[in-house]
A and B are shown apart, each in its own frame.
Chain A
Amino acid sequence: MRFSRTSKALGMVAIAALALTGCGASGSATGSGSNGGDTSKVILADGSEPQRPLMPADTNEVGGGKVIDMIFAGLVSYDPSGKPVNELAESIEGKDGQHFTIKIKKDQKFTNGEAITAKTFVDSWNFGAAAKNAQLSGGFFESIKGYDEASAEGSTVDTMSGLKVVDDQTFTVELKQPESDWPLRLGYTAFVPVPSGALKDPKGFGEKPVGNGPYKLADGGWQHNVQIQLVPNPDYNGPRKAKNAGVTFKIFQNDDAAYQDLLSNNLDILQTIPTSALKNFKSDLGDRTINKPYAGNQTIAIPEYLPEWSGDAGKLRRQAISMAINRDEITKVIFNGARQPAKDFTAPVLDGYSDAIPGADNLKFDATKAKEAWAKADAIQKWDPNETFTIAYNADKGGHKAWVEAVVNQLKNTLGIKVEGKPYSTFKEARNDATAKTLTGSIRAGWQADYPSLYNFLGPIYKTGAGSNDANYANPTFDKAVSDGLNASSVSDGNKAMNKAQEILLNDLPAIPLWYQVAQGGWSDKVTNVDYGWDGVPLYYNITGK
């Protein structure tokens, strides 16, 4: 069949008209997503009620964190593999790892029209660090010169001397000491700029935050304990441009209810499949699931302030414990593959990760070697056979009981000692004993990276006197190795040095690495283009309707 010229032309017009209506918000089934998909769909996702007002520097938990991440844009953001990409930054330059010059892009605005300049950044960071503002994530600015003065208890200093505005588009940062991976941190939510109104009335702002990210909060969008509605920010022009008509986080008290909602298509995406559904979710959801490692791990920290666990005998005992745990079996049987056996102290998604660091053998199950190591330790200092080795965990959330019991049984069977799980009824109770250094045995410790860097898994946890050093580990050689890594001139040299430092940890085992976290999520048959980021959070901006 042939078309006449006129009918062809009419056909073109008709196609164009169809395409136009498709691009509009008419709810038609065609759209312009990168891989196809309907861009007019509002994505229904699961969330939890933020603990604190939605102030970037005051938010340190997942519920508020993922909202902040979507309504704010910082100097850089991380791509799905964890590589930083410039968002507001034009360039971040620093030759010696201590002095940085940051240039920001021109004509950037918050959704209320306020311009974002170098001063906005400096003011926001100073606000976050100053003790008088009591921001929970203030510690993220600790490397900047002048942080100590601003953050001291009762301090009235509200600026850090290391931050200087050069002109509207430029500011400089001076750190206390060289830290080559510092620019990697700038994608963390504490480093985003906030409008001037936020600094005057943080509480009011936290209810109705105004940002500059790919999304903005809808009018009255935060219905406490119920839902948080985000709509696309049309002025955003960075790498995370929204490909849907908005994201609504429905707040759930428990994942089981969320899973039922997902099964009946009342929820589009569930970030984490609840433990109770791990056995069935693949048959329930078919190919609408994801199984992807992210930057988090699980360890058992054994405090060195306990006499049995200090010195050479303690070290041998920790090696024995580590080799007595069959990680492959637990990740398969208990977690159905939702975890991967650990081969180091970091996580496999990170740049510089290696699964063959000398000493990684200490993390392999080997009953004979474990018994030998325990016997050697006994030769130095006898283990009282009536003593019970405890593994503490919080029983309120996270589903830790099952794997703790499994580890307990493996230790009993291999080493022939008394082992028990010690449940704390709440997380806060467990943290209390850990921070007060009053633990009477080991404690489970999980770490989720704040920014994609090997250092983030080592420095804050194992450096002498570090804030999250539950094991009270103190080893000057390790401290030196880590600071060598920070002083390295390039990222790859830095990574090599970090893995050198890990050799020391793998021998000392202040904590026993168990497994890497794997994000296991699922989605409804109404959405497509679902992927997860390096941190185990779905890339909500990329999700489209079918």
Chain B
Amino acid sequence: MSTYILKRFLQLIPVFLGATLLVYFLVFSLPGDPIVALFGDKPVNVAVAAKLREQYHLDQPFWMQYLLYLKSIFTFDLGQDFSGRPIATVLGEVFPVTARLAIMALIFEGVFGIVFGLIAGLRKGKLFDATVLIASLIVIAIPIFVLGFLLQFTIGVQLGWAKPTVSSAATIPDLILPAIVLGLGSFAYVLRLTRTSVIENMNADYVRTATAKGLSRFQVVRVHILRNSLIPVITFLGADLGALMGGAIVTEGIFNVPGVGNRLYRAVLSGEGPTVVSIVTVLVLIYCLSNLLVDLLYGWLDPRIRYDS
């Protein structure tokens, strides 16, 4: 088991190098000179521009810039963004906010998706099942920003139940509405995934055996149906955590959440290479780690799964 985990951690190294290299290259090849853009419509002061290029290593060729960036990572100094602040500080500000948002969305889609999916699966073909299926289809079909603006306007502006944008502290109550919007799409998938899985398992031999043994309905559902149905759902949720964190850009924009997406969007527009790469790298690492966690959870859910070491 521990060798398995160690192996997985070692695999992170090439993933990390590959991701940083690729993203750095993409930002590097974005058209336009970020230093020229700093001057806006104003004439470019050549001396000032040269000084700034030197400061941000923009006068170096691509490989040199990339190596300097790698060096900065290993010395735990990620460099500075254009407003002169350490990128590490910036990461420390934005990631907790987005992590909070993504975890809240994950809890929302996980809890509601599994519960609704389970009920729908157990009552296949009944009214509840049909309603939930149609509702989830609608949610999947409508783009997330439409849902976002709709909920913001109805719940935030007209009904006044929540603030239309997030306050400066981005507290948990503030984030409820954005988290629901962020999680809605995945909620529908989780629901459908659970439902299908439950329906399959209901016809399985071991479920029939368990019922024949005289186990209560509750025990059959909990131990034999639900637990076995969760494997594909957990895989989806694990992969979704990374996707939620990176994909929060739209939701963060609508509700003005001061998180990763907002900062990343601004960094891409202004061409702040090191900021973009640092944020994306952390996102990649989170994605890899949440996948590792999912793989470990398989063993707990289904003891037949063994890890090769």
Q: Which residues of A contact B (CB under 8 A)?
A: 49-53, 60-61, 131-132, 134-139, 151-155, 203, 206-207, 223-227, 250-254, 256-258, 260-261, 263-264, 266, 396, 425-432, 435, 445-448, 460, 466-468
Q: Is the CB of A431 within 8 A of B45?
A: no
When A and B form their complex, which 4 residue pairs have the shortest distance between CB atoms, in order from nearest? A467-B43, A428-B37, A429-B32, A428-B32
Of B160-168, B195-203, B293-301, the one touching chain A: B160-168
Q: How far is the CB of A516 from chain B (nearest CB, A)?
A: 16
Do A224 and B93 touch (CB < 8 A)? yes
Contact status A52-B258, CB under 8 Å: no
Query: Does B263 sit at the interface, judged by CB under 8 A?
Result: yes
Across the interface, name the chain B residue whose C-beta is closest to A284. Answer: B157
Q: In this assembly, does B77 line the interface, its C-beta being within 8 Å of a C-beta of chain A?
A: no
Known A49-B266, A224-B90, A260-B153; contact A60-B42, beta-carbon cutoff 8 A: yes
Q: Are A225 and B94 in contact (CB under 8 A)?
A: yes
How many Å lie between the Cα of A430 and that of B40 in the bound state?
10
Q: A226-B168, A253-B266, A257-B164 are in contact. List 19 more A-B contacts (CB 8 A).
A: A50-B83, A52-B83, A60-B39, A131-B47, A131-B48, A134-B48, A134-B51, A151-B48, A154-B47, A154-B50, A155-B47, A252-B256, A426-B31, A429-B31, A430-B32, A431-B37, A445-B41, A446-B41, A468-B41
Q: Measured between alpha carbons, how far is A53 from B84 in the docked complex, in Å?
A: 6
Given that A253-B262, A257-B255, A263-B164 are contacting pairs, would A136 and B43 also be in contact in the complex, using a CB cutoff of 8 Å? no
Interface of chain B residues 135 through 190 with chain A (CB within 8 A): 149, 152-153, 156-157, 160, 163-165, 168
CA distance A3 to B90 in the complex (A): 67
Q: Complex: how many Å from CA A52 to CA B270?
A: 12
B47→A153 contact, CB < 8 A: yes
Q: Does B79 belong to the interface (CB within 8 Å)?
A: no
Contact B263–A428 (Cβ < 8 Å): no
- Whether A426 and B163, one on each chain, are in contact in the complex, defined by CB atoms closer than 8 angstroms, is no
14 contacts between A and B (CB under 8 A): A52-B38, A131-B47, A136-B45, A139-B42, A151-B45, A224-B83, A226-B168, A256-B254, A261-B163, A426-B30, A426-B269, A426-B271, A431-B33, A467-B44
Residues of A within 8 Å of B31, CB to CB, are 425-426, 429, 432
A225 to B92, CA, bound (A): 13
Instruction: Count contacts between A and B, CB distance < 8 Å.
Output: 158
The distance in angstroms between the C-alpha atoms of A118 and B260, with both chains bound, is 45
How far, in Å, is B181 (CB) from chain A's closest CB? 13
| Docked pose: A320 CA to B186 CA in angstroms | 55
What's the nearest-Cβ distance from chain A to residue B255, in Å? 7
**Contacting pair A467 B42 (CB below 8 A):** yes
| CB pair A225 B42 closer than 8 Å | no
B32 contacts A426, CB within 8 Å? yes
Question: Bound state CA distance, A466 and B42, in angstroms?
Answer: 10
**Alpha-carbon distance A67/B258, docked complex (angstroms):** 20
Which residues of B sit under 8 angstroms from A447, Cβ to Cβ? 41
Distance A467 CA – B48 CA, assembled complex (angstroms): 14
Given A52-B83, A61-B40, A468-B43 in contact, is the A225-B262 Cβ separation under 8 Å? Answer: yes
Q: Which A-chain residue is minimally distant from B55 (CB atoms)?
A: A134
* A223, B256: Cα distance in complex, Å: 14
CB neighbours (8 Å) of A429 from chain B are 31-32
Smallest distance from the beta carbon of B176 to chain A beta carbons, Å? 16
Given contacts A132-B51, A225-B258, A266-B164, contact A203 B43 (CB under 8 A): no
Q: Which residues of B have CB within 8 Å of A466?
A: 43
Closest A residue to B163 by beta carbon equals A266
Say yes or no: B265 contacts A253, CB within 8 Å: yes
Interface residue B36 (Cβ < 8 Å from any Cβ of A): yes
Report the separation of the CA atoms of residues A138 and B43 in the bound assembly, to the nearest whole angstrom: 11
Chain A residue nearest in CB terms to B43: A467
CA distance A266 to B152 in the complex (A): 13
For B85, list chain A residues within 8 Å (CB). Answer: 207, 224
Complex contact A263–B168 (CB within 8 A): no
- CA separation between A284 and B92, bound complex, in Å? 39
Chain A neighbourhood of B48, CB < 8 A: 131, 134-136, 138, 151
Cβ contact within 8 Å between A152 and B47: yes
- In the bound complex, do residue B82 and residue A52 qualify as a contact, i.e. CB atoms below 8 Å apart? yes
Shortest CB distance B77–A (Å): 15
CA distance A426 to B267 in the complex (A): 12
- B34 interfacial contact with A, CB 8 Å: yes
Q: Are A432 and B32 in contact (CB under 8 A)?
A: yes
From A50, A251, A263, A432, contact of B33 by CB (8 A)? A432
From A52, A256, A427, A428, contact of B84 by CB (8 A) = A52
The answer, among B43, B164, B253, B271, for a CB contact under 8 Å with A428, is: B271
Q: Which residue of B lies closest to A396 (CB)?
A: B269
CA distance A227 to B160 in the complex (A): 23
Q: How far is the CA of A152 from the CA of B51 in the complex (A)?
A: 11
Q: How far is the CB of B128 from chain A (nearest CB, A)?
A: 34
Contact A257 B270 (CB under 8 A): no
Q: What A residues does B6 contact at CB under 8 A?
A: none
Q: Which residues of B contact A266 (CB under 8 A)?
A: 163-165
Identify B164's interface contact among A61, A225, A264, CB under 8 A.
A264
Residues of A within 8 A of B82 (CB): 51-52
Q: List chain B residues, Cβ under 8 A from A253.
A: 252-253, 256, 262, 265-266
Docked CA distance A431–B156 (Å): 38
Known contacts A467-B42, A468-B41: does B165 contact A225 (CB below 8 Å)?
A: no
Q: A430 — which chain B residues lie within 8 A by C-beta?
A: 32
A251 contacts B47, C-beta separation under 8 Å: no
On chain B, the residues within 8 Å of A131 by CB distance are: 47-48, 51
Q: Do B258 and A260 have beta carbons less than 8 Å apart?
A: no
8 A Cβ contacts from B70-129 to A: 82-85, 90, 93-94
Measured between beta carbons, the chain B residues less than 8 angstroms from A203 are: 84
Give which listed residue, A153, A251, A260, contacts B50 with CB less than 8 A.
A153
* Chain B contacts for A50, CB-based, 8 A: 83
Complex formed: what's the CA distance from A466 to B83 in Å?
Answer: 28
How far, in angstroms, from A445 to B160 measured CA to CA in the complex?
Answer: 41
Residues of B contacting A432 in the complex (Cβ-Cβ under 8 angstroms): 31-33, 36-37
Give the docked Cα–Cα distance between A448 and B40 (Å).
11
Q: Contacts of B55 on A, CB cut-off 8 Å?
A: 134
A154: chain B residues at CB < 8 Å are: 47, 50
- Given A131-B51, A138-B48, the answer on whether A260 and B34 have CB atoms closer than 8 Å is no
A residues within 8 A CB of B163? 261, 264, 266
Q: Give B280 Cβ to nearest chain A Cβ, in Å.
A: 18
Instruction: Give A46's nearest chain B residue, CB to CB.
Output: B256
Decide: B90 and A257 in contact? CB cutoff 8 A: no
From A267, which residue of chain B is reached at the shortest CB distance? Answer: B165
Q: Which residues of B contact A134 (CB under 8 A)?
A: 47-48, 51-52, 55
B43:A139 contact, CB within 8 angstroms: yes
Q: How far is the CA of A252 from the CA of B255 in the complex (A)?
A: 9
Q: Report how far A396 CA is from B157 CA in the complex, Å.
A: 27
CB within 8 Å of A: which of B251-309?
Answer: 252-256, 258, 262-263, 265-266, 269-271
B10 within 8 A of A: no
CB of A479, distance to nearest CB on chain B (Å): 16
Of A61, A154, A223, A260, the most chain B CB neighbours within 10 A belong to: A260
Chain B, 242-258, contact with A by CB distance < 8 Å: what is the 0/1 string? Answer: 00000000001111101
